[in-house]
Amino acid sequence: MLQMGETAFGQSSFATHCIAPARNAIKVADDVPIELLGPFGCGFQTGAGTVLNALQVQEGEDVLVMGAGPAGLAAVMAAKIARAGTIAVLDREPARVALARELGATHEVVVNERRVTGGPSAGFDYCIDTTGNLALVSAAIGALSNRGQCALIAAYPPGARLEVDASFLMSGGRVVRGVVEGSFDQVGFIPRLIEYWRAGVFPVEKLISFYPFEQIKQAIADSEAGRAVKAVIRF
């Protein structure tokens, strides 16, 4: 548990004030609700940045998002902004799949016997893993089209090993890559995401559940149980 005043990954703090490097402080307009902006510094920018910056998804390309949490749903919204073709989502919680559909997902996929079913016959141009489940990652790699890319953006345990068919990767020119924080320039990208929010195409308020600080334990429990997609503490 963080102590009061400590920061989480240099992005947030359970305190009313904190000291941060100038390059980590992004100026935003006064009329933007500050309580919506906290998650922009981590999950939202990671998911959206992976689609728009790291992978640079183009109109009509097919995307698989594994995990409908904050980063995954941000990726779904960004894929819709990019005018992707198939936007498929995989999650074990029906409510989160339904929310992903509301936000722009076009299909739900499942994994049976380590095979992804429910996607395009030619495979996905991109898959994005937010689950940290390496068996699912292996299945998603197997569902890539020629020259497809798999982006790893979850928190994977140290020493974890990914099982990949090297011949399958090489013969199709496929790529597996790690992406940190969406490979973004935060000075320009977070204001860009705010403009998407203003335009109504990045409605992050649908992902957020607010809690007073006194209910922080409930917020953690709801997050772990999947009842809250993104819990935000308000003082």
Three-class SS state of 13:
strand
Q: For residues 102 and 185, give the distance between their C-alpha atoms in angstroms, rounded to a whole number.
A: 28
Share of the chain above pLDDT 70, in %: 94
pLDDT bracket for residue 177 (50, 70, 90): very high
| Per-residue confidence (pLDDT) for residue 8, from 0 to 100 | 55
For residue 143, what are its two tokens?
Answer: 């569902």
Per residue in 41-60, pLDDT tens?
Answer: 888 999 999 999 999 999 99
pLDDT bracket for residue 115 (50, 70, 90): confident
| Per-residue confidence (pLDDT) for residue 4, from 0 to 100 | 41
Average pLDDT, the chain: 90
Nearest to 141 by CA among 116, 104, 120, 117: 116
Name 149's bridge partners. 126, 175
Amino acid identity of 141? I
Q: For residues 79 and 55, give the distance between their C-alpha atoms in angstroms, rounded to a whole number.
A: 11
pLDDT bracket for residue 153 (50, 70, 90): very high
Whole-angstrom CA distances from 72 to 46, 55, 63, 169, 204 are 9, 14, 11, 24, 12
Per residue in 130-143, pLDDT tens?
Answer: 999 999 999 999 99
Q: For residues 37 and 51, give the distance between their C-alpha atoms in angstroms, rounded to a whole number.
A: 19
H/E segment holding residue 129: strand 124-129
Would the pLDDT of 187 be above 80? Answer: no
For residue 57, what are its two tokens?
Answer: 């998804």
Q: Are 83 and 61 in contact (CB under 8 A)?
A: no
Give the burial class of 163: count Cβ atoms within 10 A of its Cβ; 0-12 exposed, 13-18 middle, 19 or more buried.
Answer: exposed
The arrangement of secondary structure in 48-156+163-178, i.e. its CATH architecture, is 3-Layer(aba) Sandwich (3.40)
| Per-residue confidence (pLDDT) for residue 6, from 0 to 100 | 47
